[in-house]
Amino acid sequence: MKTVFLDRDGVINRYPGDRLYVTSLNKFRFLPKAKEALALLSKKGFKVFIASNQAGVGRGVYAQTTLNKITSVMLRKIEKSGGRIDKVYYCTHKKDAGCICRKPLPGLLKKAAKEFKFSLKNAYFIGDTIRDVLTAKAAGSRSILVLTGKEKLKNQVNWEVKPDYIFKDLLTAVKFLTQ
């Protein structure tokens, strides 16, 4: 099964900045060509999952109902553009909660693999941070770093791990995967 995991903030929608969260629907903005990329993945038969830390819920910065509303509208707009997300997995725990689902631990990916019965070794994880790369490595998956969010290429001398691939944005990464 062709499988792709995507981080949300900085990959699908604009990165809100350090210590900031997408706390309302009007702060959620798709990145250019993100919906086109998701439609291409769907057209090419990929299973597509979102795996994202959303600790703002656990911290009380915004409510679970707000996250649910943002997710619902995001999914509807993706579908309207011809894309499909098979399932969204969020870790809403605070950083110090010690949960196994908070990235860079691979709990969200393992949960999807168990639920949908596929091997993570053939999956890709597309993210915008080295934490996402670490998540992919911990799950035994391949990592793709996109430069539309938190991480910048100039910081690579400080990276504790190197991604398998680096692309400027989600569409470029998806074109690579679907060629």
Catalytic residue among 7, 128, 132, 169: 7
Listed residue (88, 67, 91, 66) closest to 79, CA to CA: 88
* Alpha helices in the chain, H assignment, sequence order: 34-43, 55-58, 64-80, 107-116, 130-139, 170-178
Verify whether residue 7 is a known catalytic residue. Answer: yes
Catalytic residue among 9, 128, 132, 169: 9
Verify whether residue 169 is a known catalytic residue. Answer: no
The owner of tokens 């391949």 is 142
Mean pLDDT of 64-77: 98
Residue 155, pLDDT > 90, answer yes
Give the strand pairing for 3-6 and 165-167.
unpaired
Mean pLDDT score of the chain: 96
CA 84 – CA 126 distance, rounded (Å): 16
| Statement: 3-178 belongs to CATH 3.40.50.1000 | yes
Query: Over the stretch 9-37, which tens digit does the pLDDT of each residue have?
Result: 999 999 998 778 999 999 999 999 999 99
